[in-house]
Structure 1
């Protein structure tokens, strides 16, 4: 069987992120490295693959643990069922495919994982616009909207290598169903040394005033860069990393309530994702701030990733300009 294409392959990565100034890597790369390491420690960790081992970075796992690697081919619905069965037998299966393909089998996820409370980790790679020229037919842009509807499924999206490793350690020892959303594009490390992931707790990466910017996954380092650009003009937005859902309600209320405006930046459709999660909280505040969203308002387009992020104003320049405009519009 010929493996499905994902366009140009990036180089593989090994080793933990250590803040040593090395080249940025994607969270799918960090996932692949962490998966092998946790499998060495936990023999109940297995992988269910959908003919995308190179693209999802599960190939190193297959090479080291061939007896714990199950190839289902181009059949995500079958893979989800196989993974649910393995989970019910005490294994911790990671079933990996493009997020667009995997969550496209939502009925099977609902029936076999959700309703059975099966401890499957659904790994959706190639989140957002970064798949580029392959276009909307392969872009993971509506996966959060789907997975958020399942009340017992936690959603995880790391913003860098350090957070990916810590999430993987959490997921290996947890037994609850989960969706792990991963990026294709390289990301710089966004967290300071000593950061510790805690499910549902959104860390503040830049403390500021007036505007609280909530981001997730690949948009987090970009939002940090935008805030750093604005600092030269004397503007200091707060940047918050919402790395897992459901998010802690009290933490969001505290952060949003301390600002005049809230901006949600996400590499996802404008409807159904992080913005909707936060709006349900912010709109309940007695003195609620202005609420704004910067996301993908259509089906997405095909083109070089950098052009797409520029088009949708989800690059550092676009986010910075949007924040500056919000501050100019705000009453004194």
Structure 2
């Protein structure tokens, strides 16, 4: 299957969800071509609301629609949308309104537009809201199922989407189950836990490792809150847990995984890896290499962990 961005899969899935669920609406922030909501506007113009470059207003509009019985998806770049955290807290979180926040352009892949538009702290913000469900698909199959799932739900949610094209990661029949860790590859000794666009990157790092007898498990943490018991069962069977994320090292899934593992009587070795500054402006490939979030660098780090190299030598 041709590699595509999850935002592209989202645009198609949203039209299907609109046909199946008359309550589904879209609130746009003048970014329909980038967030891929334009097809929904053509199919269902009466359920498409254009708010312009005004995310705070869009959040208020979406909250009002939800309180009138609609299921609105409000879409913008993740950095811009979650930047209106006060409005999200007050209008959606505190009121428990059934709005789906759709944040595209997650992580470093926005490239030369730089840190002023780079979605690197959105998970940290959304994780602070106790009733906010967070979903970050790894491929087209997961995106379609997540959109169907969200269209039929009532609770607030944040859907995190990628800009970069990605090959499918599920080479078997797949069923998304909210809160369940997805074991994409079963291995031994080391569990690599990641989410979204990084799943494909980690998988691409595996072939050279296999030639050296290193076959880590790859676990996709595609939705939060995660079932902590299931996460402990998966990770606790490994000597080392290596969390890789296209996000700040603080506030992302490393925090979620570490909290669960601390409940084990004998926690595995734990290493978290992500972005440690505000991000830079450069071509996406250059940025992923700089932050050691490309396949080659991740493979090197997994190899070092397998060789028992001290944690400090990995960074």
- For 2:244 and 2:235, the matched residues in 1 are separated by 14
Pair 1:163-2:162 in alignment = no
2:99 alignment counterpart: 120
1:5 alignment counterpart: none
1:11 alignment counterpart: none
Matches within 5 A, 1:180-259: 180-259=159-238
Taking structure 1 as the reference length, the TM-score comes to 0.92
Matches within 5 A, 1:92-103: 92-103=71-82
1:107 alignment counterpart: 86
- For 1:76 and 1:96, the matched residues in 2 are separated by 9
Deviations 1:6-58 (A, max 9, x none): xxxxxxxxxxxxxxx3x200000000000011111111100000010100000
- For 1:212 and 1:228, the matched residues in 2 are separated by 16
Pair 1:33-2:4 in alignment = no
Deviations 1:96-149 (A, max 9, x none): 000000000000000000011100000000000000000000000000000001
Pair 1:269-2:256 in alignment = no
- For 1:52 and 1:193, the matched residues in 2 are separated by 34
Q: What is the SS of the residue equivalent to 2:231?
A: helix
Q: What is the SS of the residue equivalent to 1:329?
A: coil
- For 2:208 and 2:23, the matched residues in 1 are separated by 46
Structure 2: unaligned runs, 5 residues or longer: 311-315
Q: Superposition RMSD on alpha carbons, in Å? A: 1.0
Aligned residue-pair number? 310
Moved >6 Å (runs of 4+): none
Taking structure 2 as the reference length, the TM-score comes to 0.97
Pair 1:76-2:55 in alignment = yes
1:327 alignment counterpart: 306
- For 1:290 and 1:216, the matched residues in 2 are separated by 20
What is the deviation of 1:330?
Answer: 6.1
Question: Residues 330 and 307 (structure 1 numbering): CA distance in 2 closer, same or farther, change over 3 Å?
Answer: closer
Deviations 1:264-304 (A, max 9, x none): 00000000001011111112211111110110011111000
Contact 1:227 1:239 in 2 (8 A): no
What is the deviation of 1:156?
Answer: 0.3
1:292 alignment counterpart: 271
